[in-house]
Structure 1
Amino acid sequence: MRTRIAAVMMTVAGIATLTAGPAMAATATSETGTAACATVLNRPCISHQIDGEGIVGVAQVSADPNQLTMVQVEVRTQQAWGSPWEPVASATTVRLGSAQAVTPRVTATAPRIICATAGPALDASKQVTTCTNPF
């Protein structure tokens, strides 16, 4: 059991390294509705909540109840047009079955996107990254 937990933590650390770079680790799409992908296994659904106090990124993924699943969500900003998207808030959840992650609330006036990576925690090749359009 400890070996599995260590493997999951190493996988999560590797994913965080991949998603921090300027290129995305997997195919990116621009779906804004969570209903469109809620029934597709291992594909993250992204949403965000904006109010006068800031923005919160939310990602959820549907998965087999016996699968160790990872979901990571990030709020990214861009300081100048053409510069890399930099994460300003992030949250990761690893659990059996379906999972959800919510970032801490941030205030950012620069252009923003929400990106999420989700899928089997022990098989990074089957994880999918999805991002919203800039807003």
Structure 2
Amino acid sequence: MSRYDWMEDARCAQVDPDLWHPDGSGVGYSDARRICQGCPVQQQCADFAQQTEGDLSHSHRHGLWGGQLPRQRVESGSQRAGFYAKRRQQILRLAANGDMDAYQIAEIAGVDVRTVWRTLQKNREQMGKAA
């Protein structure tokens, strides 16, 4: 299964892609927003945009993704960054006790065990660089 499989279910894949990238000719995002509202993969689309755009400012983001304008995605990304930081802290705190395996940590943190493994690996790499 590809991490892009969700795109097959995207409603935007069925219509003109220019709707999501207006050229400034006075045509806005209204049609795109209407299509996004009922899309079954709207959240996956928003997550994909956040992962792809990273910490870009709104002026470097383009188009409507997951029903969000560039400025909305910047704001949403800031909120998500706080969420991910708290989740990372929780995973590291649970792992520091040393009495739980990755599966137990994943269950308590409400994440997939792969998220625990990746978080711990990234932490080890960062600690190695700091030494």
| TM-score, normalisation: structure 1 | 0.24
Q: Report which of the two has the higher share of strand.
A: 1
Greater RCO, CA 8 A, separation 6+: 1
* Higher gyration radius (CA): 2
| TM-score, normalisation: structure 2 | 0.25
Q: Report which of the two has the higher share of helix.
A: 2
